Homo-oligomer: A and B are copies of this chain.
Amino acid sequence: MRQLHLGVNMYNAGIHAAAWRTHDDPFAYLDIDYYRDLARTAERGALDAVFLADIPGLREDPRVRPTLGLEPTVLLTGIASATTHIGLAATASTTFNDPYNLARRFSSLDHISRGRAAWNAVTTYDPVVAPNFGLPELPDHDDRYGRAEEFVDVVNALWDSWEDSALVGDRRGDLADADRIHTIDHRGPHFSVRGPLPLPRSPQGRPVVVQAGGSEPGKRLAARTADAVFAAQTTFADGKRFYDEMKRRAREFGRDPSTLKILPGLCTVIASTEAEARSRKAELDELGGQEWAIARLAANLGVAPEELDLDAPVPEHLLANLDEKRGSRGFARAVAGYAREGGLTARELALLGGGGHRYAIGTPEDIADTIEHWFRNGAADGFNLMPDVLPSGLETFVDHVVPELRRRGIFRHDYSGRTLREHFGLPRPPSRHEPAVRAV
């Protein structure tokens, strides 16, 4: 029977901007033990993966919100030894990295974690990043995706540069079979890369590739190359539309659509009663102030915060043509979906959907209802959870929602494999240089 996939986004103190204000140590998000404990909790719930978002720059206002600080591949390596099964998914930008170094770093993480690495390939939409890398502003959206298409191909080619059978290990003869280690000799508009990598193929063959883009080129890239998509839809209707579209697109690339997992983000606020959950959310909103949320909504809509009438719905003209603006189009469209279906004021929308992901607020049964509804009715293969406050929001999920999902027969009781590919039910790809693959 088809099983749900669940990741958890270890977003600093929690996805709610005020989460750090509830911590005894507001700087816990800098401590490796904090993440190790989160990952162990997620593993106790047999979740598929822990996930780290990333922006190589100081985006958040440091007065009111922790930053995505520790570099994700390094941070996840620090977690690997504290866990044995859970997948380790790190975001890294195709715009602000080099494919050789990135391919090697994720291959290293896959070796060190014994097959649990995933790369969330993003093009980076935040304009604050570009000047850290010598650029006055971000390359155009299409340029970024042109580079991303080529970047992902180069990385995959490098991951295949050693055949599995290149390892010989004959102590009186050869360590490796040089004929099974291949240059990639890539020459394209953005990159020229000879290869091979300096290390053998990793346990998963290729680390899992995730993408999050919701724009036209983002969806094309994901349909062609990703194993999973971290989607951003706020309503079931939008979720189902996106799900169907991505499965169709995967099919058009000749892929088995079940090998492309669609995992929307799901912000959670969980309590024993719905009223308690709502009041918990309201307390966090109160604690955090509203400015950050309104600023983020405005940024996603491409306007200044002052231009929004906070007590009226967002006007239609701001929701139209989001594609013509810079920034993260998927997020912007998810916000628009919420705005259209919910009939919310701009303020309510800001507090609920500023990040562009669905908020599920209620009892463990309520959360399980949302998850089951999307999962059984073709809007999701699983979710990337974004608890309001960490670690408590994750602990509650593991202790109360996971058992409910198991009762409903849609979530594993324990891991049946060791690698992230195995958790996702994805085959281990052979290197393109293996004779059986070359012969096709």
Contact = CB atoms under 8 A, between A and B. Distances in A.
Interface of A: 20-23, 25-27, 30, 32, 36, 55-59, 61-71, 73-75, 77-78, 80-82, 96-98, 100-101, 104-105, 108-109, 111-112, 131-134, 166-167, 169, 171-172, 174-178, 181, 191-200
Main secondary structure of the interface of A (DSSP, over half): loop
Nearest to A193: B132
Nearest to A181: B62
Nearest to A170: B26
A120 to B, nearest CB: 16
A157 to B, nearest CB: 12
Interface-central residue, A56, A74, A174, by most chain B CB under 10 Å: A74
B62 A109 contact: no
A439 to B, nearest CB: 25
A193 B197 CA distance: 29
A153 to B, nearest CB: 15
A70 B108 contact: yes
A15 to B, nearest CB: 16
Interface-central residue, A23, A111, A169, by most chain B CB under 10 Å: A111
Contacts of A174: 63-64
Contact of A27 (B66, B74, B169, B198): B169
Interface-central residue, A62, A97, A172, by most chain B CB under 10 Å: A62
Interface-central residue, A26, A96, A178, by most chain B CB under 10 Å: A26
Given A26-B171, A56-B101, A62-B176, 14 more contacts: A26-B175, A27-B167, A32-B80, A32-B112, A63-B177, A64-B174, A68-B198, A69-B111, A69-B197, A70-B112, A78-B78, A78-B112, A97-B98, A132-B194
A20 B175 contact: yes
Nearest to A191: B134
Q: Report the 7 A-B pairs with minimum CB-CB distance, sorted nearest first.
A: A69-B199, A131-B194, A62-B176, A26-B169, A77-B77, A63-B174, A67-B198
A285 to B, nearest CB: 15
B30 A70 contact: no
29 contacts: A20-B175, A21-B171, A21-B172, A22-B171, A26-B169, A26-B175, A32-B81, A56-B104, A58-B195, A58-B198, A62-B181, A64-B175, A67-B199, A68-B198, A70-B111, A71-B104, A71-B105, A74-B109, A74-B112, A77-B77, A78-B78, A78-B80, A78-B112, A81-B81, A100-B132, A100-B133, A131-B194, A132-B193, A133-B193
Copies of the polypeptide in the assembly: 2
Contacts of A70: 108, 111-112, 199
B75 A78 contact: no
A110 to B, nearest CB: 10
Contacts of A64: 174-175
Contacts of A108: 69-71, 74-75
Nearest to A195: B132
A195 B198 CA distance: 32
Interface-central residue, A32, A69, A71, by most chain B CB under 10 Å: A71
B178 A98 contact: no
B61 A178 contact: yes
A47 to B, nearest CB: 21
Contacts of A22: 171
A200 B27 contact: yes
A135 B79 CA distance: 35
A346 to B, nearest CB: 26
Contact of A66 (B21, B55, B81, B175): B175
A265 B303 CA distance: 59
B63 A175 contact: yes
B74 A198 contact: no
A20 B74 CA distance: 28
Contacts of A78: 77-78, 80-81, 112
A64 B177 CA distance: 10
B134 A193 contact: yes
